[in-house]
A = this chain, B = another copy of it.
Amino acid sequence: MSPSSLDELIDALRGLPGVGPKSAQRMAYHLLQRDQRGAERLARALGNALAVLRHCERCNTFTETEICQRCASPQRDASLLCVVEMPADLAVIEQTHAYNGLYYVLMGRLSPLDGIGPRELKFDKLLARVADSTVQEVILATNFTNEGEATAHIVAELLAARGIRVSRLSRGVPVGGELEHTDTGTIAQALVERRPL
């Protein structure tokens, strides 16, 4: 009985990650009943983003130009290349102010169950990027999840085969963390990877 353009909107909203049928319904009612301007704005933002955004030729992140501002900046240390999964990871590393090199954003992680393999992650583009001889070291900063670790492992092998120096973010007890409240796996890693002082 409910009108099909409403069903179609609810269906389209269900395509968003983490949105089930109830949330999609609530969102649709909210947009149509309480926030039509928000709905117009969202439709416009989607159309605009689809039309305007592309991937940086160098670091693969979202950008509106051929090469993103960061990659084009002469202030960054071009000898370091940090590989992350998503732009959100890049943003967190930037917030540390502890890194001034460049990035490469995979836009995902190896995830065979979701059909995301080396081809989907465009490892070719990463390898082409690294072929640039200014890159002295690649720092793998994928997540420490199973999928992130697997991704780091494969990328490390590909890069090592090309004679490129590769490192990985260290694993260990978080800063401010207490051993008592740290999982044993992390503590075991911190023991194995203990650093000489």
Would you call the interface of chain A mostly helix, strand, loop, or mixed?
A: helix
A13 contacts across to B, CB distance below 8 A = 16, 42, 45
Taken together, the copies of this chain in the complex come to 2
Chain A, 87-112, contact with B by CB distance < 8 Å: what is the 0/1 string?
11001001000000000000110000
Report B-chain residues with C-beta under 8 Å of the C-beta of A108: 33-34
CA gap between A53 and B44 in the complex, in Å: 18
Q: How large is the interface on A (under 10, 10 to 19, 20 to 34, 35 or more residues)?
A: 35 or more
Residue from B32, B35, B87 within 8 A of A15 (CB atoms): B35
The answer to whether the Cβ of A165 comes within 8 Å of any Cβ in the partner chain is no
Q: How far is the CB of A17 from chain B (nearest CB, A)?
A: 5
State which of A19-27, A140-148, A189-197 sits at the interface with chain B: A19-27
Given contacts A3-B52, A43-B46, 5 further A-B contacts (CB under 8 A): A1-B69, A6-B53, A9-B45, A11-B45, A17-B27
Among all A-B residue pairs, the 7 with the closest Cβ atoms: A43-B46, A12-B45, A15-B38, A12-B42, A9-B45, A9-B49, A3-B64
